[in-house]
Amino acid sequence: MLAVIRLLILALFFVMSTIAMMLFCIIRPFHRNNVYHVAKLYGSMHKLFGVELEVRKHPSIKSDEQYVYIANHQNNYDLFTISAAVQPRTVSIGKKSLKWVPFFGWIYWLSGNILIDRNNRSRAAGTISQAANKIKDNKLSIWMFPEGTRSYGKGLLPFKTGAFHTAVQADVAMVPVCMNSTCKRISLNKWNNGKVIVEMLEPIKLPNNAKENIREITNQTHALMHDKIKQLDAEVGIKE
């Protein structure tokens, strides 16, 4: 019964929020803070799922600087949890095909996110340059999921290097964003689904030779985030 009530409330939320966000994005299309406001709206819905959410931000992260944020991507509940950590003047990179998905895709596009063609490597490479230029020219930050897909309880998947190349080209630091494991921990039929911690780690400034050692840096960052996720899992009581 609880699951039914939650689903009904969620359906109503999607209808009302979609209408509101469509109007919002049509009035100010591609504004650099659209994604931030949309993310905060969705992030506020964590309470509906009986989740206590804590977002931690390293004190060295400055509001007036640009970064490439890299986060672990687990499941569809990320929309209501890790999205709460999205910072002002931040956009994401998604599949070009999203542009044609009614309502959600339109909002995603009008919000100012960057769309890429994942089936075309040359265009994807060009998008890295496009993202880097947006960071420098428009003073934007980029939010990326370096795993490239949801992990669905398989642990932190191997990272692709696109986010790291973007940071190198834009000459900005990277901020790892780690969230404890949520797969199979959130049930629509439970009142209390425990605590979820999202922690934004200290910015990582890439070395001058980063381009030549991009895979090594990628693997080192993966190991750093893997260890932090394990720490967060232990903190909320998740056993291996």
CA dist 88 and 82 (Å) reads 15
**Each residue's pLDDT tens digit, 98-136:** 888 888 888 999 999 988 776 655 555 667 887 888 888
CA dist 149 and 76 (Å) reads 11
**Domain spanning 2-235: CATH 3.40.1130:** yes
CA dist 38 and 29 (Å) reads 13
Q: What are the residue ranges spanned by the domains of the chain?
A: 2-235
Lowest mean pLDDT among 19-28, 50-59, 170-179, 208-217: 208-217
**Each residue's pLDDT tens digit, 134-153:** 888 889 999 999 998 899 98
CA dist 97 and 120 (Å) reads 12
**Each residue's pLDDT tens digit, 175-231:** 999 999 999 899 999 999 999 999 999 999 988 788 889 999 999 999 999 999 999
Mean pLDDT of the chain: 91
From first CA to last CA, the distance across the chain in angstroms is 31
What global pTM score does this model have?
Answer: 0.92
